[in-house]
Structure 1
Amino acid sequence: MFNPSQDDVRRFFCETYRKYHAKEILTPLETIAADWISQHPEYAEDFRDVEVALQRNYSVDSGKTNPFLHLSMHLTIAEQVTINQPNGVRVAYEALAHKKNSIHEAHHEMMDCLGEMIWNSQRNGTPPDGEAYLSALMRKAKQ
């Protein structure tokens, strides 16, 4: 199982940003990441200098969204939808995308549910609850 460190994630996004802007060849995963990076120009400064990125603190108290976490969640959701895992996530995604008339906004709605599932799993010391995640997604799609 792939388990990158915080530094690995930050290096990946900074290198993807650099390669994308240098018009270098991207791996398939970098291509997906570059698409999400381009949809978040507000994070550009965070990706320009890998050494600064490795040192930056994105605590809740700082009041600044962690762009590396945000984009990692976009990649996670994109992968979930592609392979339909947990089973049924693609249907929920399509319903949200239709409701919001935006793939990007659907992802952001899904992030709320994904974050809650991860938080509950960590807090309770239990595996992630895919059924609860799907239920939360479908509730959002029907609201």
Structure 2
Amino acid sequence: MFNPTQDDVRRFFCETYRKSLAREILTPLESIASDWIMQHPEYESELADLNAALEADYSVDQGKPNPFLHLSMHLSIAEQISINQPVGIKAAYLNLAHRLQSEHEAHHVMMECLGAMIWESQRNGMPFDGAAYVEAVQQKLK
């Protein structure tokens, strides 16, 4: 199982951004990441400076959004949808994207659900409940 460090994640996104700007060949994962990076131009300054990215503090008390967490969640959700895991997430996403008329906004709504489910799992010391996550996304349709 792949378990990147915070620095690994930051290096990955900064390098993907650099390669995209240079029009270098991207790996399949970098290509997906690049698509999400381009949809978030507000993160360009953080992605353009690897050293600053490695030093940046995005703790809650800093009050700044963490672009690396945000982009990582986009990647996670894209992967979930592509393999329909947990089962039912693809249909829930498609319905949500249709209702919102935006795949991007559907991802953002799903991020809220995913974050809440991860927090709940960690708080209770229990495994992630995929069915509850799918249900939470489906509830956003109501």
TM norm. shorter chain > 0.5 = yes
| CA-CA distance at 1:63 after TM superposition | 1.4
Question: Alignment partner of 2:35: what SS?
Answer: helix
Q: For residues 43-81 of structure 1, what are the alpha-carbon distances to aligned partners after superposition, in whole Å with 9 as ceiling and x for unaligned? A: 000101111101100011111110000000000000000
Residue aligning to 1:9 = 9
Residue aligning to 2:140 = 140
1:82 is the counterpart of 2:78: no
Residue aligning to 1:40 = 40
Cα distance in structure 1, aligned partners of 2:5 and 2:60: 20
Cα distance in structure 2, aligned partners of 1:103 and 1:88: 17
% identical equivalent positions: 68
Cα distance in structure 2, aligned partners of 1:104 and 1:97: 8
Cα distance in structure 1, aligned partners of 2:100 and 2:34: 23
Matches within 5 A, 1:121-132: 121-132=121-132
**What TM-score comes out, normalization by structure 1 length?**
0.98
Question: Alignment partner of 1:141: what SS?
Answer: coil
Structure 2 segments unaligned to the other structure (5+ residues): none
Give the aligned residue type for 2:33: A
**What TM-score comes out, normalization by structure 2 length?**
0.98
Q: Which runs of 4+ in 1 moved over 4 A?
A: none
| CA-CA distance at 1:35 after TM superposition | 0.3
Structure 1 segments unaligned to the other structure (5+ residues): none
Residue aligning to 1:71 = 71
Q: For residues 16-65 of structure 1, what are the alpha-carbon distances to aligned partners after superposition, in whole Å with 9 as ceiling and x for unaligned? A: 00000011000000000000000000000010111110110001111111
When the two chains are superposed, the root-mean-square deviation of aligned CA atoms in Å is 0.6
Cα distance in structure 2, aligned partners of 1:11 and 1:25: 17
Give the aligned residue type for 1:14: C
Cα distance in structure 1, aligned partners of 2:30 and 2:116: 26
User: 7-16 or 124-133, which moves further after superposition?
Assistant: 124-133
| CA-CA distance at 1:137 after TM superposition | 0.4
Residue aligning to 1:98 = 98
| CA-CA distance at 1:87 after TM superposition | 0.3
Cα distance in structure 2, aligned partners of 1:61 and 1:37: 25
Give the aligned residue type for 1:129: D
Cα distance in structure 1, aligned partners of 2:122 and 2:47: 28
